[in-house]
Every structure is written in C-alpha cells, then in structure tokens.
Structure 1
Amino acid sequence: MTGTTAGTLDGELAEFDHLFVNVLDWLPGLWDRERGGFYYALSSTGASEFEADIESTAFAVNIIARAGLLGSLPRAVRTALVRFFQDRQDRRSGYFLDPQNEMREIERLRGRALDMATSALARLGAEPLYPLPDPGTGATAYTRHVESVDAFEEWLDQRPWENSWLAQDNIQAQAALLMLLPDSRRDALVGTAIRYVSARQDPVTGFAGEGVPYNRLSGAFKFALFCRQVGHAVPRAREIYDAAFEVIRTQECTDACWLRNPVELIDVVGAQLGGVGERDVAELVRITTANSRGFARDDGGFSRHLGHSLEAPNEVRLGFGLDEGDLNATHQFVTTVRPTLYRLAGVAAPALSIPDGWADRFQA
C-alpha cells in the first residue's frame, strides 16, 4: 500500500481496536460454573428463565481460542466445557440440543448446533459421546430432506425466499449434515443447492431472494459460506462483490450481523476474484470502524442492535434485549470482523488486552 493509505489504515485500525479493550474482562461474567457453559448476556445470568446454551458457549470457546487463551483455562474449566457439550448430545439422533428451549423443533438451529458443538469439542481436544447423525443409513425426522435430490429440491422450494437471509441461512446450516453423506450423495445435493440458488440470483447484484438491501446481502453471505464449506466457487462473485460495496456505502447499518456479513462476504468473493484491492480495503475498514461504534457497549461486549442487545438472536429467547453486550454480536466482532480487517490490511492483529488473573475468574 502507499504510505498515505497505510498511515490512514493504521489510524482507522487503532480506533477500531480501542473498542475491544474490555472484551476479555466482560467474558468471564457469563460463565455458569454449575452447568459448565456460558450465558448469552450478563443480565441473563441472574434470571431463572435463562440457562447457558450451546451457541453462546460455542461462541465463548471461539473467542477464548481466538485470543490464544484456551491453554490458559484451568483443567477443571476445560473439562466442564467438554461435559457441557457432551451432555447435550441426543443419543438417538446424534444432534446437540439445548434442553431448555425450542432448538429441537427448529431445523436450521439443529444444523447450526451440530456444527458449533462438534467444532468446539475439537478445539477442546474432545469428541462427541455418540455417533453423529447418519443420513446415509435411512431417513429420520431430522434427515428426510437429504434422502434424495427430489426431497432436497422440495425442501429448497419450502424455504422462505421472501427473506433472503433466512432462506440461505437454512441452506448454510445444512452444510455440516451434507458433509456427513457419502461422496456421491453429498456431491449430488451440493450441486442441487448451487444450481437452485444460482437460478434465483439477480443478474445485476448476484443476490437471491427478497428483502431490504442488507437482508439480501446477508443472504449472499450465507450462500458464500455454504460454497466455502463445500468447496465450491461462488456463482456471480463479481456482481456480489460490487453490490456488497454499494450496500455498505448507501444503507444504514442497524444490526451487528449487517456489519459482519459484508466484511466476510467481501473477503470470500474477493479471494475468488484475485484479492481485495487496497482502495477497497481502506474503504471497508473506514466504513466498518464508523459503524462499529454504535454496537460497542459500556460493559465491554458488543450488542446485536444499535444501543441494545437482541432478545432472540436465532428464534430462541436468550436475553432481555437490554443496553448490554451479548455473545452473538461479540463473537462476530472478535472472531470474524477484527481478524479479517487486519488480514485484508496486511497488518498483524495485536493481542487482545488480558486482565490480570483472567483465568482464575472462571473458578472464583
């Protein structure tokens, strides 16, 4: 990069990084010593209607790993985290399910939890207690939609395409299940999904499905993640790349997902196009830094919405929606937005600030 561009970027990144100074101070307050998991928000920890949940706990593990601190956790804490996930695996189906909420009834949440729990266990050096879902040995209520191409096409037709993000989040949530299939069946269903979404793509923007601009961008983001997980190029990558920049330049960002999604989307499709140019990197950092200020909360975390958390980030109520950080948004900022911006800028991300006695706070 030119000296002027590099200097501007350094200033923007320093301002952006200041928003993270108390993240690791905030995180231990969400730890549930009894159950071995993490709550979604600080106000949830003292409320009888909430418990530690799979997604929040997986997010916390990812944040700790990103900070390079998994090895610093006391052995008893690591053991408790492993037990938390293993206790939530359903012996019969192989899925990981929260006992206290509606996850069992929501297909895309089952897929998300399968991916998150198995990944967290691997980070912790452990494995599931029971076999994972085996869609190759006969249909169950949870896997009938991947039993054949016809069943999968019918399932795709039933997605809520009036909401671009939700429809394609459903698809991306199936990636972990598809990867468990025998190669021939997996390839057939992956090809079906790619062709199906491609047929719905707008030839100008590359977006598929309906919704406000950030919703359509977020749908493209979910599709791009699916393509990356299954090892397939993203169709209409150039159109998506250009449209994503147009959205972040012109639309108000009121959701932390709307801040994270274009950063990772531009990274994924940009790599496919040969890289993100320095001017585009500088613009992405500038816009992201400006938008990030509205999501940083005084407790040290980040909130899903401007000025307040989101009660039910994925169709399951986890908090009160107060002016506080939550693990859904904070995870996105720490594990995706921050490292991606630094990497695109060609700068090593500095270590997150670690409070004195940090690891001891999980056992106090």
Structure 2
Amino acid sequence: MGRNRRLEKLLEDGDRWFEGFFEWLDGQYDVASGGFYYAASSRRTNVYGPDIESTAQALNILERTGLIGRWSDRMRRKAVRFFQARQDPDTGLFYHADPNMRLDGVSVARALGYSLGALRMLGAEPLHPVPERSPATPAYMESPAAYGEWLRSVSLSNSWRGCDIIASSAVHLLALPPEKRAPYVREAFAHLNRIQDPESGLWGEGTRYVRISGTFKLHIFYERFGVPLPRKAEIYRSILETLREDEATDMCYIRNPISLLASMRLAIPAEELEEICEMTLRNMGRLKQGDGGFSRELGHSVPAPNVAQVKPGEAYPDMPPPIVLGLGLAEGDMNAGTQAVLIRYALRELAGLPVKHFAVADHLFTDRWEE
C-alpha cells in the first residue's frame, strides 16, 4: 500500500472515534431556547442552561460537517433569538446569565466573537450595534501608548492564559476604524515579535503544551490582522518534539498543535505527517467518553472551561471566577467536541485529502419537536 493510501486509511479509521458523537450532539439541543447545553450534566441539573459558547460551537460543528442545511427556518429563528436575547443594549456585548462572566474579559471577548459569527451564519444581525467604545471597553484602549503599556504588563508565566488575554484584545482593536486601529496594531506586533523565543518559536512560559497553546492563541491574533506568523520552522520542530515526548491530557493540547500546523502550511515530510496523524488520533481517542462525546480533560469534562487553562498545581495572577457550565463528570462536553471535529478536518487538510463529511443518521438535527 502506498504512503498516501496508508495515510488516507489511517484517517478513515480514525472516524471510529466519532461513533455516537452526533447522537450526543443532537441530545444537547434545547428545544425551548434554541440553544445547546455544554454537557449532559448541564441539562440534568436544571441550573446550567444552554450557553453562548456551547451553542455557537454546536452551530460551527453543524456548518463544518455540512449538517446545518438540515435545520428548518423555525430552528434558525430560535437560534437567532437565543443570541439576540443575550446582547446588552448598553454595551453591544453578549453575556450569559452568570454574573461572573462580566468579570472575565476573555470570556466576554469570546462571546462577542461567537455571537456575531453565529448570527452571520444564520443570516441575521445583532439587535444593537457594537460601538467603538462603550462602558465595557477596557481602559487600555484609551490610546496606543496605554495599549502598549498594558501589553507589556500581561504576564506570560502561563503562556496559554497570558497569550489568550492578549489575543482577546483583538475584538476591541477591530471595533476601531482602520486609521485609528493601525497604531494599536503596530504596538501589538512590535511587542510580540520582540518577546518570541527565537529557538523554539514559542511564547511565554509553562510546559511545552502550555507554550504551544499560547502560541496557538497568538497565531489567531496574527491571522486576524493579516500578519505572517514568525519562525514557523522553529514552531514546527517544537510541536513535533512535544507530540513525541509529552502526554496530551487536555483536548486543547491535541487540537492546538494541529490547528497551528494547518495554518502554517509547511511542507511536512511524509513520514512525519503520518506520525503526527497517528499520534493525534491516538491522543484524541483517549478522551472519548461513553456517552458518545469527548471530554476536555483525560477522564472527565471540566466544569468551568474559562479557567481550565491553569491546571491544578499551577498559578496565574488575577484569575477570573469560574463560569460553571457543567459538573465535570466523565462525560462529553461541547468544548472538547468542537475541537475533536476541528482536528478531524484539519488532519485531512494536512494530508492533502478532499473534504469528506461524516455519514450521519437522517433523523438527527431536524425539526421533529412540537412548539
């Protein structure tokens, strides 16, 4: 069997990890609100309702897998109302019912991006404009100099968390008109290019997976402003060494390297590409749960994904309060599920294979409920 065919078969065999996944995903849908729950325990407790991120992530899965076309107009209208109802008219931002969300700037930025993206996907608009400045705009946006000072103050003692904080500032930069945005962007990339490790290509401190995850967050920031990611060859070597030598205990540790590789578009030697795919699928399979979903961490879901970047025994200054979405049981969760799907499609892209969707039962994701 030729190497290309062997790689294709390896990836096709990897689809076995998705047996039961789409039944699990369909089961997270909430008919009343038009949103999706984070995990099965979220529904059972009757406390953690459908949330912004889980709903947007579910919609992204449906779009990526070609299943969003099964949704009826009624289901689309419900989803539009779900997001529009969570927009604050004073700030234009989107919030969960949990008041802790307003205390976490990263989560607020993520909710804004997710909500606007979901509404665009559904052919709708937010009810209220997202202003250039609002009561929720951070103080660091007062001037480019203030932004630069803030950037230099962000701790990268945990690269993943620190780089996520920096990357989340993109939503505020993008709210500015281009002529006002330019000096902020210059501040950002002057700082980031200066502090990148020239040997590893990574940013910040922590374990190698933590540093790769931080680098992944910054690659999104670079992409949003059309700036090439520096030192791609060094980043590739760091990823390959980490995959070979370190244990991946978090779905993000599995997804983030693959998304980085897919975005960097390097010419990866065939033997190494096959090795990368094999290691990634093996690691992903370890997070498969009995309910059909995938868990964020090895053996269990995480109850509050907004603080899951900093693991037990690690520390980071001024961590926000947890935004609890589930019970953290041995169960699938939406955060891990969306990443597993991203991994599957990214591996096919890396292998140069055409897009191939899953075979999903016809009754799933259809409007089969009473009003």
Q: TM-score under structure 1 normalisation?
A: 0.93
Task: Report the residue type matching 1:341 in the other structure.
Answer: L
* Alpha-carbon offset, residue 191 of structure 1: 2.0
The one-letter amino acid of 1:237's match is: K
- Aligned partner (choices 325, 328, 346) of residue 340 of structure 1: 346
Does the aligned pair in 2 maintain the 1:56–1:327 contact within 8 Å? yes
> What does residue 153 of structure 2 align with?
158
Query: Does the CA contact (< 8 Å) of 2:91 and 2:136 recur in 1?
Result: no
User: What is the CA deviation profile of residues 293-327 of structure 1, one whole-angstrom value per residue up to 9, with x for unaligned ones?
Assistant: 10111211111011211111113111111111100
Q: CA deviation at 1:140?
A: 3.5
Separation in structure 1 between the aligned mates of residue 355 and residue 286 of structure 2, nearest angstrom: 22
- 2:160/2:213 contact within 8 Å kept: yes
1:202 maps to 2:202: no
For structure 2, which runs of at least 5 residues remain unmatched after alignment? 308-322
Give the root-mean-square deviation of aligned CA atoms. Answer: 1.7
Q: Percent identity?
A: 39
User: Aligned AA for 2:149?
Assistant: E
**Contact 1:25–1:300 (CA under 8 A) maintained in structure 2:** yes
Which residue is equivalent to 1:66? 64
Letter in 1 for 2:239: A
Matches within 5 A, 1:75-94: 75-94=73-92
Q: Deviations over 1:32-76 (max 9, x none)?
A: 222221110011102132111100000011011112122211222
**DSSP-derived class of the 1:146 partner:** helix
Give the one of 147, 168, 172 matched to 1:173.
Answer: 168
Q: Structure 1 residues 141 and 14 mapped into 2: Cα distance closer, same or farther (>3 Å)? A: closer
| Structure 1 position 101, deviation (Å) | 4.3
Aligned position for 1:24: 22
Unpaired runs of 5+ residues, structure 1, are none
Q: In structure 1, what is the Cα distance between the partners aligned to 2:358 and 2:292?
A: 12
- Normalization by structure 2: what TM-score? 0.91
For 2:289, what is the secondary structure of its paired residue? coil
- After superposition, give the CA deviation of every residue in 1:95-133 in whole Å (9 maximum; x if it has no partner): 111123411111111111111110010011111110013
User: 1:318: which partner in 2?
Assistant: 325
Aligned partners of 2:348 and 2:355 also within 8 Å: yes
Which residue of structure 1 aligns with residue 97 of structure 2?
99
The answer to whether the 8 A contact 2:71-2:367 is kept is no
Of 122, 125, 135, 2:123 maps to 125
Instruction: Specify whether residues 258 and 203 from structure 1 end up closer, same or farther in structure 2 by C-alpha distance, changes over 3 A only.
Output: same
Q: What is the aligned counterpart of 2:4 among 3, 6, 9?
A: 6
Query: Is the partner of 1:38 in helix, strand or coil?
Result: coil
Of 146, 149, 160 in structure 1, the residue corresponding to residue 144 of structure 2 is: 149
**Distance in 2, Cα, partners of 1:276 & 1:128:** 42
Q: Describe the SS at the equivalent of 1:247.
A: helix
One-letter code aligned to 2:192: V
Alignment partner, residue 358 of structure 1 = 364
Partner of 1:192: 187
Whole-angstrom CA distance in 1 between matches of 2:12 and 2:164:
33
Change (3 A) 1:257 1:246: same
User: Residue 41 of structure 1 is aligned with which of 39, 50, 56?
Assistant: 39
User: 1:195 Cα shift?
Assistant: 1.7
The yes-or-no answer on 1:292 pairing with 2:280 is: no
Q: Is the 8 A contact 2:72 2:367 kept in 1?
A: no
SS of aligned partner of 1:295: coil
Q: Which amino acid aligns with 1:242?
A: R
Q: Note the alpha carbon deviations across 1:118-159, whole angstroms, 9 max, x for none.
A: 001001111111001313xxx634233223112112221332
